[in-house]
Amino acid sequence: MAGNRSLRSEVEKLVGPTRGRGACVRLLDRFRSAGTCCVCIQIDRPTGTFSLFFFRHDDGTWHVFPPGQRRPEMGIGRLAA
Per-residue model confidence as pLDDT tens digits over 24-60: 887 777 765 566 788 998 888 888 888 889 988 888 8
Instruction: Answer whether residue 10 is part of any domain.
Output: yes
The pLDDT-based confidence of 1 (bands split at 50, 70, 90) is: very low
Please give the backbone phi and psi of residue 8, each rounded to the nearest 5 degrees, phi first. Answer: -60, -45
25, 39 Cβ separation under 8 angstroms: yes
Kindly state whether residue 79 falls inside one of the protein's structural domains: no
In a domain, 25, yes or no: yes
Q: Domain for residue 15, yes or no?
A: yes
State if pTM tops 0.85.
no
Query: Element (H or E) spanning 66, and its range?
Result: none
Domain holding 41, by residue range, is 2-63
- Assess if residue 69 is contained within a domain: no
Domain count, the chain: 1
**Domain assignment present for 19:** yes
Q: Is residue 18 part of a domain?
A: yes
Residue at 51 is within a domain:
yes
